[in-house]
Amino acid sequence: MSARSSRVTSRDVARLARVSQSSVSRAFTAGSALSDEKRARILEAAKRLNYVPNSIASMLITRRSNTIALIVGNTDNPFYIGVLKEFLAELQAGGRQVLTFVVDPGSSSDDVIMRVLQHQVDGIILTAAQLSTQSTSLCRDRGIPIVLFNRYIPRIETVAVRCDNAGGAETLGRAFLAAGATSFAIIKGDPLGTTSHDRVQGFRDALWRAGIPATALMEIEGGSVYDTAFAAIRDTYGVGGEAIPDGIFAVNDVMAMGAIDALRFELGRRVPEDIMVAGFDGIPEASRAPYRLTTMVQPIQAMVQTTVGLLIDDAGEEGSDPPKIESDIILDCKILWGATLPDAAA
Amino acid sequence: MSARSSRVTSRDVARLARVSQSSVSRAFTAGSALSDEKRARILEAAKRLNYVPNSIASMLITRRSNTIALIVGNTDNPFYIGVLKEFLAELQAGGRQVLTFVVDPGSSSDDVIMRVLQHQVDGIILTAAQLSTQSTSLCRDRGIPIVLFNRYIPRIETVAVRCDNAGGAETLGRAFLAAGATSFAIIKGDPLGTTSHDRVQGFRDALWRAGIPATALMEIEGGSVYDTAFAAIRDTYGVGGEAIPDGIFAVNDVMAMGAIDALRFELGRRVPEDIMVAGFDGIPEASRAPYRLTTMVQPIQAMVQTTVGLLIDDAGEEGSDPPKIESDIILDCKILWGATLPDAAA
DNA sequence: GTGAAAGCGCTAACAT
DNA sequence: ATGTTAGCGCTTTCAC
């Protein structure tokens, strides 16, 4: 019954439909000149033979793979999982294939870039991962556009899409001040990442502008994920530790959750009654009943669509070497008031 | 400085290195006959030209793409995110590329299969997604192996790797009984999925064997994810609702978390003092301080490695049509005692 | 509108 | 060990 169709090619279909091989190709190419009658005949023959066009051959000749490489770091942060999902959905909806790579948070994506280049992808999306100058120029030489997502690389002219990390953090800083906090801690993320850096900077700025002395802000390495942030808070403020401040800002939600749990279950403190907490990202988990975290919501969908748009536009034109956008694209984020840091204006 | 290497082919390298084009090919193929001196010369020329072999052309001729398709459903369940990560890591470590597809929980993977076939992948991994008989036979006709992960399709002879869902659920059922529970609820997942079905069945069996009447077990549609399970518990047992049973078993961890939060924050109950709860999967989130859920841990890594092993072995031999494994591979899962259901034997 | 012919960049015999 | 040759399955001029 089944056609044992292991190697059905357009030639086989052509033979059965009594047309030329090129007509078969046309039948599977939208908008090519072919009579309806012939197309129908070809399609039927194809169905009978279980023919599926070999896109590898098509890629070779058209030099377009219709494939985007998605390089993801830090998969332990639900935010990037959400980003990954959104990218997959968006690219898939646009008819593109996605080659996904994960890189260890520490390691560089350069070896992955090599594999990506061999695969003739139409574009590269880089999320929460490092990249060297060398790699970017290799891609540029081949005309493969790269877009950085929520990360930029100083001194490398690569387009980046991100949200206003510094501005968002500053807003949160002011929110703490408005709520009456006078002593602070900030839980930092990846020391090499621009995202954490910018949020720290924004928060510091808010305090500095309000005349808060630098000594009123303690900076804690949070390790970017739940477990490490939990441990950092427990160890920093545990028995014989430092005095716990009024307000704690974690540069991402998952660390804020770790901090809250450590405060409650290890240190016996109440949030927000004893300590106020805010995060950044707007992951759904942080809005659940036990947390109801006040946070800055990143517009994932808009950011993803912007990113994909840049890639697709670039890939559309053959010899468009200079990416039209020279500087980063920065989208606004929006505060989501939860219970852990009340809206003083409300 | 950069070589404007948009279209450097093996011919260009051959010319520069003063060798034949096939020697260039050999230089990039491990274990092919080529003098060290020549190989070095070729590699150097390649570097100067920024040459990267075009794997598309190689795929076309070798008919092996070195690529695995990973089809994932239900990305809202952290368990499958963990699975996704593990697969990506494992396949990447094995030098394979991964084409990732997400399918909406409701929809079938059949359209995705079509795209996958066009891409000449070496194998397909299907996780938490539906698949029709038609699609599987299409793949089989082309000699593309499919492995189902944590899901099987009755009446379709496709290899599946999963854990002992029924057995694990039965163990949890006995744990509830040993802890003294006498009335029960089970929060069910995807009605179409075998995973939920088997766990429900296993739990029922445990009660039945202990002589518990069917009336002592209430079955609740939990919708597979946190939010829907939260709402289901809130609505079922809220004001004017049913009496809350002693023990609640959610067929996955994320629904157990939703149930616990609903019990605590919507219904004002204590877990485990008032109600005992258990889940299934062993996701890290469920072991965090607010939950400390008792659950069955699925051996993700072993399951993933087994799955990949099946695929790679199959793909290794050219004409190996009959998959060597005819029946499913079932791995053991292990109970993780948390706080929500105490170990009566301890 | 349709067919014939020429490759895309590579691998794999086959010679030497 | 190395070069020559013949394609892999498709798209795309180019004639007709």
Contact check, Cβ <8 Å, A265/B5: no
Q: Is the pLDDT of residue B326 over 80?
A: no
Q: Report the pLDDT value the prediction gives residue B155, as an integer from 0 to 100.
A: 65
Q: Is the pLDDT of residue B319 over 70?
A: no
pLDDT band at A5 (very low <50, low <70, confident <90, very high): very low
pLDDT band at B314 (very low <50, low <70, confident <90, very high): low
pLDDT band at A105 (very low <50, low <70, confident <90, very high): confident
Q: Report the pLDDT value the prediction gives residue A319, as an integer from 0 to 100.
A: 43
CB A276, CB A247: distance < 8 Å: yes
Name chain B contacts of A269, Cβ cutoff 8 Å.
none
More confidently predicted of A226 and B150: A226
Determine the 3-state secondary structure of B252 from DSSP: coil
CB A95, CB A66: distance < 8 Å: yes
CB A119, CB B55: distance < 8 Å: yes
Q: Find the closest chain A residue to B47 by CA distance.
A: A138
Determine the 3-state secondary structure of B281 from DSSP: strand
Q: Is the CB of residue A100 inside 7 Å of nucleic acid strand D?
A: no
Q: Which DSSP string do the residues of B166-198 spell out, in sequence order? A: HHHHHHHHHHHHHTT--SEEEEE--TT-HHHHH
Model-level pTM greater than 0.75? yes
Q: Is the CB of residue A38 inside 7 Å of nucleic acid strand C?
A: yes
pLDDT (tens digit per residue) in B232-280: 999 999 988 889 999 999 999 999 999 999 999 999 999 999 999 999 9
More confidently predicted of A315 and B34: B34
For chain D, which bases have at least one atom within 7 A of a protein Cβ? 1-5, 7-13
pLDDT (tens digit per residue) in A20-56: 999 999 999 988 889 999 999 999 999 999 999 999 9
Mean pLDDT of B43-65: 94
Percent of chain A with pLDDT over 90: 75
Q: Is the pLDDT of residue B28 over 80?
A: yes
pLDDT (tens digit per residue) in B82-115: 999 999 999 999 999 999 999 987 777 888 888 8
More confidently predicted of A201 and A320: A201
Q: Report the pLDDT value the prediction gives residue B136, as an integer from 0 to 100.
A: 83
How many Cβ atoms from other residues are within 10 Å of residue A89's Cβ?
16
What is chain B's Cα-based Rg? 26
Determine the 3-state secondary structure of A337 from DSSP: coil
Name chain A contacts of B99, Cβ cutoff 8 Å.
67, 97-100
Protein residue minimizing CA–C1' distance to C9? B57
**B20 CA, C16 C1': Å apart:** 14
Query: B329 to chain A nearest CA, in Å?
Result: 27
Q: Are strands A294-297 and A334-336 parallel, antiparallel or unpaired?
A: antiparallel
* Helices and strands: H and E segment counts in chain A: 12, 12
Q: Is the CB of residue A9 inside 7 Å of nucleic acid strand D?
A: yes
Ranking A193-202, A207-216, A281-290, A306-315 by mean pLDDT, the lowest is: A306-315
More confidently predicted of A312 and B324: A312
Instruction: Give the C-alpha separation, A70 to A99, whole Å.
Output: 6
CB A166, CB A173: distance < 8 Å: no
Instruction: Give the C-alpha separation, B169 to B235, whole Å.
Output: 25
Tokens of B83: 């699975």
Which residues 14-43 of chain A have a CB within 8 Å of chain B? Answer: none
Q: Report the pLDDT value the prediction gives residue B6, as an integer from 0 to 100.
A: 63
Q: Where are the beta strands (DSSP E) in chain A?
A: 67-73, 97-103, 123-127, 146-149, 159-163, 184-188, 217-221, 247-250, 276-281, 294-297, 329-331, 334-336
Distances (CA, A) of A268 to A239, A261, B257, B293: 12, 10, 22, 20
Instruction: Give the C-alpha separation, A152 to B115, whole Å.
Output: 33
Tokens of B327: 């029946």
